[in-house]
A and B are shown apart, each in its own frame.
Chain A
Amino acid sequence: MYQHLTSAISQVLPEVVLLAAACVNLAVGPFLIGDDGAVPKGLKHRWGVWSLIALAIAAWLQCLPTPVVEATGLAPFLSDSLVSFVRLVTTVTGVVLVLINWNQTEERDSAESHACLLFILAGANLISLANDLVILFLALELVSIPTYLFLYVARRDRSGQEATLKYFLLSVFSSALVLYGLSFLYGVAGTTNLTALHQVLKNHQLNAMPVMLLVSIVTIVAGLAFRITAVPFHFYAPDVFQGTANSAAALLSFIPKVAGFIALVRILGQPSVTAATHIGYWSLAAKSGGLLYLLAIATMFVGNLLALLQTNVRRLLAYSSIAHAGYMLVGLSVAVSVPQINDDATAASAGSVGGLPALLFYLGVYGVTTLGVFALIASLSRPERPLETRDDLAGLSKTHPAGAFLAAVLLFGLTGLPPTAGFLGKLTLFLSAWSHGTDFGRTLAICLAINAAIAAWYYLRLIGVMYLQPSRDDTRRATGVPAFVGVSLCAVASIALFFAPDWLWQALQRVGG
């Protein structure tokens, strides 16, 4: 047992660094503020740099060769290529989030605000590392609880408080649902270790209690569907996005999705093709396919159709993030359901593009793109000249040409047009859904196509407002430099991934393989 723990620590060193840095923030932060509330100038810059350093050290540790894990499979942490992917994604998006947050916080709150971000990023990593239901739940909470604080620190007016409270109540409720579902799972399997749990399922030991498992699947999926803003658990998102600050909206648009999807992938596992041919086989993955399928279709349509009606930019992006959750659910429902087996098994294996790599690729691409858009809004928003509604964007191509250009790149990326990585993301989702070889997969692909066309309209309208409409005020907009660096990073990443996607895609194909 002791050995387990010592080897476990070495597996999570990058996360330990992030958590330690966050603790330094919390411990030192209060002493830097004078008794009279005087704040030294440039405090937020110092904390911003500190966060970047912590992320850099964590990234460096991630690059070191991972210690060998013993083969018993009972270790508390996993280290596979999914972990590397999640770490990569949280590092990149973490840098962007720090940059967005840089000027969004008050000087006096900057320590706490950056600490929350680091906690959240460490939590997201731990979700992918967890090999145990308890650790998984703790990691999920490590993401949620600092998020409440982050939301509150970021904006304290009435609408900000309302948003925070709304998010807090619903998030606690969803955590409870997840926990409830996990307890059923434990009750059935008698173990909290994920590897052992999936082993038990594979050995058909649970055929006796299918109803209990079904209840647990439904509650877990429902609880995590809050995190990924799947319809019908999406309704808080538009209000919260609109009511809170740009940095918090950026965080909510992406990190909870990572948390939710990775947790779902870990809990549901992968279907086993060979075992599925046995009658009475029970796998969490195979049985959740239908549920996720319905969620995917509902989420895509509701997200996109309601986004058409929005004029507030953050609200529109909230609906867009709902729609994108739907696209990713397409990948997930393909990944967890058993593909049709052709007579010629070799041919079938040749013609399949996995749902899981497609989902993860899309997740990464979506993260970069959507955070870029939020970073742009954060960078150009000023109290005296806010960027709240679509009309505020009018004439941006004149008042801030570079910003408008980058926004166009990112919005075309969200639309899924070449030459952005968003196109490859949609393409791989299409390929994975269609290569499933069933009506189930084909329906998903067709729904995805319809929704891609619907979504084009509201993204295009944003671009049109920036480029085709005259500005009400022709003076140049000022730029928040750190956030604008974040925008540029995201736009460059989005285009670069289009031209050189292979390194990421190859790594993703090893996930769960």
Chain B
Amino acid sequence: MLLLSIILLPLLAAILLALLGGGRSVARWVALLTAIGTLLVSLGIASQVTAVREAHAMATTDGPVDGPVQPKLEWRRTWMTLGHLNQPSGAVLVDNESREVIAKGISETPIRLEFYLGADGISALMLALTAILTVSAVLISWESIQDRATEFYICLLALEAGMLGAFVAFDLILFYVFFEFTLIPLFFLVGIWGGVQRQFAAYRFFIYTLAGSVITLLGLVALVLKVMETGLTATPFSIPDIAAALKTHPLSEQWQIGLLLALSAGFVIKVPLFPFHTWLPLAHTEAPTAGSVLLAGVLLKLGSYGFLRICLPLLPDAVAGFGVPVYATMAVIGIVYGALGALAQSDIKKLVAYSSVSHLGFCMLGMFALNSEGITGAVMQMVNHGLSTGALFLLVGMVYDRYHTRELSELGGLATRLPLLSVCMVFICLASAGLPGLNGFVGELLSLIGMFKANPIYAAIGATGVVLGAWYLLDMLRRAFFGPLKEPASVHGPILDINMREALAVVPLMILCLWIGVFPKPLLDTIEDDVRVIVKMYPQQNAAKTEVAKRANDEIPKDE
């Protein structure tokens, strides 16, 4: 029930606000309380997932290995019955020669589309990330959103419901539904409360993403019907059941490649991978601060989460044979291109936007290493990028609230004027650049190690992104925050340092950055099982590694 309530809570709050109205002060308090409530529910889900995992670990030494995807909590209800699966009712096998006999022994099981919610370690992490960033997003909008504030918080809550839904959906169509639904509130967030070019940015973002995801839908339909043809499962939309069915009846590699291309069409745009990133800088820059935080922090993860949840476990042959060279190449180009793009920016927000392209490249690079280090690194990178880039957008938003500009040429030496804000900025930039001891390091290192094992060349090129990342972030710090004080002339009134509300939005993220950097073990433990079952799909990629591990295991007793 927690799974259902985590979606319904923000959704109902949004509906209530829409029906009952209420001014800005009511709306923002409702939004804040709902966001905090949702955060508590997400922590509840995380603790339940942990409890289930520990119970499993007690029972078996191998961990749960029923299938490549297995939620630890689940909630399912029938949504739509699409037809009937003619299953032989006994243990009789299908025999083409004596159809009549079989026809009598057939029991009709309805083929179901389901409301299938579930959570495993990966989704639990993403839920918590979403919930905490939403709290920050509400806090940062507290004063800066004056116009049509009620509608703003309605959109924000609806967006949260959509994002959370996508992370708990274990039915392909349901996942797609939430994936698509997020477009609607975000369109309004960017289009109404955005910057100067907000309309263009909103349209472009919406159409670009929609065009890709329509192809994804086509891929989903084709995949589902392929599974239906096998007649193995009555729920061919549920991701675990598809995975189980495809394990016994693998698709031909041609089919897998075609499906991978179609499915990933929506995901590569969302992540975004290199040639499909063109919508991102504009949308990030034009969105209001809260929109940028959620867009960068969570929505981009829907793409990589889609790869992780759908492509990797369901289409192993295509991913291993065809996917690695294609997507890893795109990821590597994205890392370097995004970093170079960030270096060239004079607008701080645009710089952060381009840095997202680069950081998500690391995430995809790790994922397509297809070994446990790489995939763990990818998940960590998803969380880390959410925290640090979310925080960066918050801080940039604070600077913008004070000076109404984000141009590096107009700002300088802000450290003397805004010492606390500068401290936060330096901290978060270092986290984002991957300083050891902070969170970015963990994800990037694991991703690169994973890729280095699989293919050192990709890893070597990708590693340059770390250097470039430090360069553009530190350069931005130097120009805007250090040196002689330079403020735009048009600013009136006192410029105050970070206040309590803003601190509440940013400091929790900073604490998490530090915690993950110093002691990432709880997070790694949470996702360990789920990563392991995905990695099991790729024995060839991990053959060498397991040998090493065996040897290591053999050696341990000798030492004792």
Q: Which residues of A contact B (CB under 8 A)?
A: 342-354, 397, 405, 412, 417-419, 423-424, 427-428, 430-431, 434-435, 445-446, 449-450, 452-453, 456-457, 460-461, 463-464, 467-469, 501-502, 505-506, 509
Task: For A343, list chain B residues within 8 Å (CB).
Answer: 96
Please give the distance in Å from A344's CB to the nearest CB on chain B.
7
B180 touches A501 (CB 8 A): no
How far, in whole Å, are A340 and B191 apart by their CA atoms in the complex?
47
Interface 9-residue window, one of B213-221, B411-419, B550-558: B213-221
Task: For B82, list chain A residues within 8 Å (CB).
Answer: 353, 428, 431, 505
How far, in whole Å, are A354 and B184 apart by their CA atoms in the complex?
31
Of A348, A464, A469, the contact of B229 (CB 8 Å cutoff):
A348
Interface 9-residue window, one of B198-206, B393-401, B422-430, B523-531: B198-206
Which chain B residues numbered 45 to 86 have a C-beta less than 8 Å away from chain A? 78-86
> What number of A-B contacts does a CB cutoff of 8 Å give?
118
Task: Identify 5 residue pairs between A and B in the complex whose beta-carbon atoms are under 8 Å apart, listed by A's number.
Answer: A351-B225, A424-B80, A445-B221, A450-B214, A469-B199
A344 touches B228 (CB 8 A): no
B231 touches A347 (CB 8 A): yes
The CB with the most chain B CB atoms within 10 A, among A352, A445, A468, is that of A468
On whether A502 and B79 interact (CB within 8 A), knowing A427-B217, A453-B210, the answer reads yes
Please give the distance in Å from B268's CB to the nearest CB on chain A.
16
The CB with the most chain B CB atoms within 10 A, among A350, A427, A460, is that of A350
Task: For A435, list chain B residues within 8 Å (CB).
Answer: 225, 228
A501 touches B184 (CB 8 A): no
Task: For B104, list chain A residues within 8 Å (CB).
Answer: none
| B25 within 8 Å of A (CB atoms) | no
On whether A346 and B231 interact (CB within 8 A), knowing A417-B184, A446-B218, A505-B81, the answer reads yes
Task: For A354, list chain B residues within 8 Å (CB).
Answer: 83
Which chain B residues numbered 178 to 208 have a C-beta less than 8 Å away from chain A? 178, 180-181, 183-184, 187-188, 191-192, 198-199, 202-203, 206-207
B225 touches A434 (CB 8 A): yes
| B230 within 8 Å of A (CB atoms) | yes
| B503 within 8 Å of A (CB atoms) | no
Residue on B with the closest CB to A500? Answer: B79
B206 touches A434 (CB 8 A): no
How far, in whole Å, are A347 and B215 apart by their CA atoms in the complex?
26
Which chain B residues numbered 75 to 115 have a C-beta less than 8 Å away from chain A? 78-86, 94, 96, 99, 102, 106, 111
Interface of B, helix, strand, loop or mixed by DSSP:
helix
How far, in whole Å, are A350 and B83 apart by their CA atoms in the complex?
7
How far, in whole Å, are A136 and B540 apart by their CA atoms in the complex?
65
| B460 within 8 Å of A (CB atoms) | no
A461 touches B180 (CB 8 A): no
How far, in whole Å, are A346 and B231 apart by their CA atoms in the complex?
8
Task: For B111, list chain A residues within 8 Å (CB).
Answer: 350
Task: For A506, list chain B residues within 8 Å (CB).
Answer: 81
How far, in whole Å, are A480 and B419 apart by their CA atoms in the complex?
58
How far, in whole Å, are A9 and B178 apart by their CA atoms in the complex?
49
B221 touches A346 (CB 8 A): no
Residue on B with the closest CB to A463? Answer: B187
Q: Give the top 4 A-B pairs by smallest Cβ distance, nearest first.
A: A351-B228, A418-B177, A351-B229, A453-B211
A412 touches B184 (CB 8 A): yes
Of A346, A397, A501, A509, the contact of B94 (CB 8 Å cutoff):
A346
Please give the distance in Å from A158's CB to the nearest CB on chain B.
37
A423 touches B177 (CB 8 A): yes
On whether A460 and B222 interact (CB within 8 A), knowing A347-B229, A417-B180, the answer reads no
B199 touches A464 (CB 8 A): yes
On whether A350 and B191 interact (CB within 8 A), knowing A452-B214, A468-B202, A505-B81, the answer reads no
Task: For B18, list chain A residues within 8 Å (CB).
Answer: 405
Please give the distance in Å from A109's CB to the nearest CB on chain B.
38
B187 touches A460 (CB 8 A): yes
Residue on B with the closest CB to A408? Answer: B184
On whether A350 and B215 interact (CB within 8 A), knowing A460-B203, A467-B191, A501-B79, the answer reads no
B96 touches A509 (CB 8 A): no
On whether A502 and B99 interact (CB within 8 A), knowing A445-B221, A453-B210, A464-B203, the answer reads no
Please give the distance in Å from B192's CB to the nearest CB on chain A.
6
How far, in whole Å, are A424 and B80 apart by their CA atoms in the complex?
10
How far, in whole Å, are A449 and B214 apart by their CA atoms in the complex?
6
Q: Which residues of B contact A (CB under 8 A)?
A: 18, 78-86, 94, 96, 99, 102, 106, 111, 151, 173, 176-178, 180-181, 183-184, 187-188, 191-192, 198-199, 202-203, 206-207, 210-211, 214-215, 217-218, 221-222, 224-225, 228-231
Task: For A424, list chain B residues within 8 Å (CB).
Answer: 80
Task: For A351, list chain B residues within 8 Å (CB).
Answer: 225, 228-229, 231
Please give the distance in Å from A95's CB to the nearest CB on chain B.
24
Of B84, B94, B188, B215, the contact of A344 (CB 8 Å cutoff):
B94
B221 touches A456 (CB 8 A): no
A502 touches B218 (CB 8 A): no
Residue on B with the closest CB to A417? Answer: B180
A467 touches B181 (CB 8 A): no
B221 touches A464 (CB 8 A): no
Please give the distance in Å from B215's CB to the nearest CB on chain A.
6
Of A348, A445, A456, A464, the contact of B210 (CB 8 Å cutoff):
A456
Task: For A419, list chain B residues within 8 Å (CB).
Answer: 177, 181
B96 touches A344 (CB 8 A): yes
B102 touches A346 (CB 8 A): yes
Known: A435-B228, A467-B188. 18 other contacts (CB 8 A): A344-B96, A346-B231, A347-B231, A350-B83, A350-B85, A423-B180, A430-B221, A431-B225, A434-B218, A453-B211, A456-B206, A456-B211, A463-B187, A464-B203, A468-B192, A468-B202, A502-B78, A506-B81
Task: For B102, list chain A residues within 8 Å (CB).
Answer: 346
Task: For B151, list chain A residues within 8 Å (CB).
Answer: 397
Task: For A428, list chain B residues within 8 Å (CB).
Answer: 82
Task: For B191, list chain A residues within 8 Å (CB).
Answer: 464, 467-468
A468 touches B218 (CB 8 A): no
A502 touches B81 (CB 8 A): yes
Task: For B106, list chain A residues within 8 Å (CB).
Answer: 346
Of B85, B173, B181, B217, the contact of A449 (CB 8 Å cutoff):
B217
How far, in whole Å, are A482 and B46 apart by their CA atoms in the complex?
49
A467 touches B210 (CB 8 A): no
How far, in whole Å, are A464 and B228 apart by their CA atoms in the complex?
40
How far, in whole Å, are A348 and B225 apart by their CA atoms in the complex?
10
How far, in whole Å, are A467 and B151 apart by their CA atoms in the complex?
11
Task: For A463, list chain B residues within 8 Å (CB).
Answer: 187
A434 touches B231 (CB 8 A): no
Task: For A453, list chain B residues within 8 Å (CB).
Answer: 207, 210-211, 214
Please give the distance in Å from A463's CB to the nearest CB on chain B.
8
Please give the distance in Å from B507's CB to the nearest CB on chain A.
35
Please give the distance in Å from A74's CB to the nearest CB on chain B.
31
B218 touches A353 (CB 8 A): no
How far, in whole Å, are A452 and B180 apart by their CA atoms in the complex?
13
How far, in whole Å, are A344 and B203 apart by their CA atoms in the complex?
47
On whether A460 and B214 interact (CB within 8 A), knowing A351-B231, A352-B83, A418-B177, the answer reads no
Task: For A505, list chain B residues within 8 Å (CB).
Answer: 80-82
Of A352, A418, A446, A467, the contact of B192 (CB 8 Å cutoff):
A467
On whether A449 and B215 interact (CB within 8 A), knowing A434-B222, A468-B202, A502-B79, the answer reads yes
B83 touches A430 (CB 8 A): no
Task: For B228, list chain A residues within 8 Å (CB).
Answer: 350-351, 435
Please give the distance in Å from A462's CB to the nearest CB on chain B.
12
Of B198, B218, B224, the contact of A445 (CB 8 Å cutoff):
B218
How far, in whole Å, are A418 and B217 apart by their CA atoms in the complex?
12
Please give the distance in Å from A415's CB to the nearest CB on chain B.
8
Please give the distance in Å from B296's CB to the nearest CB on chain A.
22
How far, in whole Å, are A343 and B188 apart by their CA atoms in the complex?
51
Please give the distance in Å from A214's CB to the nearest CB on chain B.
32
Task: For A449, list chain B residues within 8 Å (CB).
Answer: 214-215, 217-218
How far, in whole Å, are A246 and B111 apart by their CA atoms in the complex?
42
A418 touches B181 (CB 8 A): yes
Task: For A509, list chain B residues within 8 Å (CB).
Answer: 83
Task: For A467, list chain B residues within 8 Å (CB).
Answer: 188, 191-192
